[in-house]
Amino acid sequence: MKKLDQLLRAATAGEPLEPEDMLSLLRLVAQDERRELFSAARKVRHQYFDNRVALYGFVYFSTYCRNDCAFCLYRKSNVSCRRYRKSLNEIVAASAALADSGVHLIDLTMGEDPAYLNDGLEGFDHLVEIVRAVRERTKLPIMISPGVVPEYVLCALKEAGAIWYACYQETHNRELFRKLRLQQNYDERWSIKIFAKSIGMLVEEGLLVGVGDTTHDAVQSLLAMEELAADQIRAMTFVPQIATPLASKPQMNSDYELNLIAVMRLLFPHCCIPASLDVEGIEGLTARLNAGANVVTSIIPPASGLQGVSQSTLDIAEGFRTVPGVQPILANCGLQMATRDEYAMWLERLQPQLAVEEAL
């Protein structure tokens, strides 16, 4: 193995990391070595984003789902979770509250709700209408996370104002995918992201760790993200969910996720990399930012009746997952919120065509 300082010096200078280098960084456990890794990641982040961070508002507007993912609270066979489907007015109101609070983007997420996905054109029309209405009211960039949709629906969602498409494979090990995303098609899920890129959308890809994955799997995921040219990449630690097949699987601490965030930053310096509030809530934010993240995700308005995904209620009613809740943490890390113009510039750097489309 190359010496750590040599490896990090090369990475911060923009030299590519070999798969065996990625493996050795992902496997770091000594605290002093991990501190060096995070320091290098922050240095790279600073080169591309200065000390600025973007905040994403999260509107999980339907918790119904046609799928049965082994890790997910909202899998269709789980009768012990609270389900809701918000009305158009409620979705627009929550998005407007988030926009008014200062977030940079609205992430419209749903389970793969049959009401939108299986009801043919009518369901899709409602989905497109939601995007259009939120975009019109907030004027903010929209990320849409509806699961796998037909290509023509993605085109319509883009036309309505969605510039981001988030769809997580969670693993790029097909055998593990089969065990996690039961009865789902790996290639179909992958292909729609390639299609999204081809029509000029920004794409977020993600992986879940602590679900029987290995560091070799993580390297495979990092290479897949590179192949996809993903614009935002996230790693999240698995949180066991009640009444699901993985309910009794112990939750690992977030150390490995933090190593992954830092390695992602070294590999993909220009990409948006989230520090999600949906794993450890506000308590876990500092560590994720210090590992090199430049986006805070899952800002949720309190008293909106909206939930998170893997932490359905943590810190929401208390108002910690809000812009004012996050700001003191940013300040403690020497960071500050990007302006909306700065965030727009990041997006144009990722996808120059966006500037042209915005001008039309």
Min separation Cβ 169 and ligand SF4, Å: 11
Q: Which is nearer to ligand SF4, 147 or 301 (CB)?
A: 147
**CA distance linking residue 62 with residue 327, whole number of Å:** 28
CB of 116 to ligand SF4, least distance (A): 12
CA angle 271, 274, 280 (to 5 degrees): 160
Of the pair 34, 76, the CB lying nearest ligand SF4 is at 76
Q: Which is nearer to ligand SF4, 63 or 254 (CB)?
A: 63
> Closest CB to ligand SF4 among 75 and 135?
75
User: Judging by beta carbons within 10 Å of its beta carbon (0-12, 13-18, 19+), is residue 258 exposed, middle or buried?
Assistant: buried
Helices in the chain by DSSP H: which ranges? 4-12, 19-26, 31-49, 88-101, 114-117, 120-138, 151-160, 174-180, 186-198, 215-228, 255-267, 277-280, 285-290, 323-332, 340-350, 353-359
- Residue 151-180 contact track with ligand SF4, rule CB under 6 A, x = bound: ------------------------------
Closest to ligand SF4 by CB, 305 vs 334, is 305
d(CA 161, CA 128): 9
Nearer to ligand SF4, 49 or 177 (CB): 177
Q: How far is the CB of 184 from ligand SF4 (least distance, A)?
A: 8
Q: How far is the CB of 75 from ligand SF4 (least distance, A)?
A: 4
Q: Residues 41-80: x/- map of binding to ligand SF4 (CB under 6 A)?
A: ------------------------x-x-x--x-xx-----
281-300 residues in contact with ligand SF4 (CB under 6 A) are none
For the chain, give the longest Cα–Cα distance: 58
Size of the site for ligand SF4 (CB under 6 A): 9
Q: Which of 141, 147, 210, 245 is the binder for ligand SF4 (CB under 6 A)? A: 147
Give me the least distance between CB of 46 and ligand SF4, in Å please: 34
Crossing angle for the helix pair 88-101 and 120-138, nearest 10 degrees? 30
Q: How far is the CB of 181 from ligand SF4 (least distance, A)?
A: 6
Residue 45 or residue 86: which is nearer to ligand SF4 going by CB? 86
Q: Which is nearer to ligand SF4, 52 or 75 (CB)?
A: 75
What is the chain's alpha carbon radius of gyration, rounded to the nearest angstrom?
19
Shortest separation between residue 61's beta carbon and ligand SF4, angstroms = 12
Q: Is 218 in the site for ligand SF4 (CB under 6 A)?
A: no
- Neighbouring-strand partners of residue 235: 207
Burial class (CB in 10 A: 0-12, 13-18, 19+), 353: exposed
| Euclidean distance between the first and the last CA atom of the chain, given in angstroms as a whole number | 52
For the bound state, the minimum distance from the C-beta of residue 50 to ligand SF4, rounded and expressed in Å, comes to 34
Nearest distance from C-beta of residue 359 to ligand SF4, angstroms = 36
Residue 148 vs 275, nearer CB to ligand SF4: 148
- Tell me the per-residue interface mask from 107 to 126 with ligand SF4, x by CB under 6 A, - otherwise: ----xx--------------
The label of the residue with tokens 């308005």 reads: 301
Query: DSSP for 44-91?
Result: HHHHHHTTEEEEEEEEEEE---S---TT-TT-TT-TTS---B--HHHH
191 Cβ partners below 8 Å, 6+ apart? none
- State whether the Cα torsion 43-222-105-284 is positive or negative: negative
Applying CB under 6 A, the residues found at the interface with ligand SF4 are: 65, 67, 69, 72, 74-75, 111-112, 147
